[in-house]
Structure 1
Amino acid sequence: MLDSLLQYIQERSSSPLSQNDISLLHEAFLVKKLRKRQFLLQEGEVCQYIAFIVKGATRQYTIDEKGDVQVLNLCLENWWTADRESFHKGTPSIYNIDAWEDTHLLLLPKANGYYDRVNSIPAFRDMRIKLDDNNHMAAQQRLLASKNYPAEYRYEELMKQYPLFLQRFPQHLIASYLGITKETLSRIRHQSAKKESR
């Protein structure tokens, strides 16, 4: 399973991985398999791992006072998932992260200094900085879209950027991720299908 991660790192870094780097990655990362709906993290727990998804899909969400699921993130293969605030600060998480499909993960623990040691690998550090920048820009764009653009625009952008979401996640999760109701999403999809059939 580590081959997927090694390829991922090397594709996103200008620094090569040495044999010592690869040995450390083998030592640091733990293999974890989750069944559909099995939790990686539950609200109130402290996040102990940053997880790389080798196969499968996860969702990160909260449950509001009405009992409705509010989706923060949907993740697929070659994505990372964690509550980074809880991981870095050691505070209880306000999120749940569970598998939406049977999922294979590689977990990087904070314990025993593994996170710091892996971050000292130049290729891993290059990759992480690039990902942090990309995530920051994506979060800004998503916040801007949620405040300034109609639901139709948000759905079209999702179709362009993450077309696999529409195949792998059900409508109610997509709607929550977009910050719209299931009914609104259904209407938008119906209108979109009518346009394409013309």
Structure 2
Amino acid sequence: MLSLLIHYIQERSSSPLSEADLSLLQEAFIPKKLRKRQFLLQEGQVCKYIAFIVKGATRQYTVDEKGDEHVLNLCIENWWTSDRESFHKEIPSIYNIDAWEETELLLLPKTNDYYERVNTIPAFNEMRIKLDDNQYIAAQKRLNTSINYSADYRYEELLKLHPEFFQRFPQHIIASYLGITKETLSRIRHQSIRK
């Protein structure tokens, strides 16, 4: 599992990984398997890990007073998942993160200063800065799209950017991620097929 993470870091960094870096990565990351619908994080818990998805899919969501789920993030292989606010501030999370498929993860804990130590690896730090920039840009685009564009446009954009989501997640989760009802998503899909 670690070889996939090492390859991922090397693809996103111009800095080489030394033997000491590889040894620290081996020591720091903890392999974890989740069954479908098993939680990585539940609302009210403090997030103790940053997780790299080796295989599978997760969703990050909240549950309102009526019991309705609101999906914030969908993540698949070679993506990271976590509640970064809870992780960094050590406060209870408002989110749930669960596996939507059988999922294999590599967890980077905050304990034993692993997070801080791994961030001193030049290749890892370079990769993390690029990912932070890309995540910020993606979050801005998603917020702008949700404020300024129709449900039809949001659907088409998601289909363009992440067509794999439509094979990996059921319609009600896609609808929640888009901020629309299942019925609206069904209507949009039927109209799109007819075009």
TM over 0.5: yes
Question: d(CA) in 2 for partners of 1:126 and 1:45?
Answer: 30
Tell me the SS of whatever aligns to 1:15: coil
Tell me the SS of whatever aligns to 2:156: helix
Tell me the SS of whatever aligns to 1:16: coil
Tell me the SS of whatever aligns to 1:114: helix
Tell me the SS of whatever aligns to 1:163: coil
The equivalent residue for 1:22 is 22
Tell me the SS of whatever aligns to 1:75: strand
Question: 1:93-132, aligned counterparts within 5 Å?
Answer: 93-132=93-132
Tell me the SS of whatever aligns to 2:164: helix
CA RMSD of aligned residues (A): 0.4
The equivalent residue for 2:145 is 145
C-alpha deviations, 1:67-94, integer Å up to 9, x for none? 1000000000000000000000000000
Tell me the SS of whatever aligns to 1:58: strand
The equivalent residue for 2:63 is 63
Q: How many residues align?
A: 195
**Normalization by structure 1: what TM-score?**
0.98
* Long gaps (5+) in structure 2: none
The equivalent residue for 1:188 is 188
The equivalent residue for 1:83 is 83
C-alpha deviations, 1:3-56, integer Å up to 9, x for none? 100000000011111111001000000000000000000000000000000000
Deviation at 1:66, TM superposition (A): 1.1
The equivalent residue for 1:170 is 170
**What is the letter of the counterpart of residue 151 of structure 2?**
A
Deviation at 1:2, TM superposition (A): 0.2
Superposition misfits of 4+ residues, deviation over 3 angstroms: none
The equivalent residue for 1:11 is 11
The equivalent residue for 2:136 is 136
Deviation at 1:108, TM superposition (A): 0.1
Identical-pair percentage = 77
Tell me the SS of whatever aligns to 2:167: helix
**What is the letter of the counterpart of residue 112 of structure 2?**
N
Tell me the SS of whatever aligns to 2:66: coil
**What is the letter of the counterpart of residue 159 of structure 1?**
L
The equivalent residue for 1:47 is 47
* Long gaps (5+) in structure 1: none
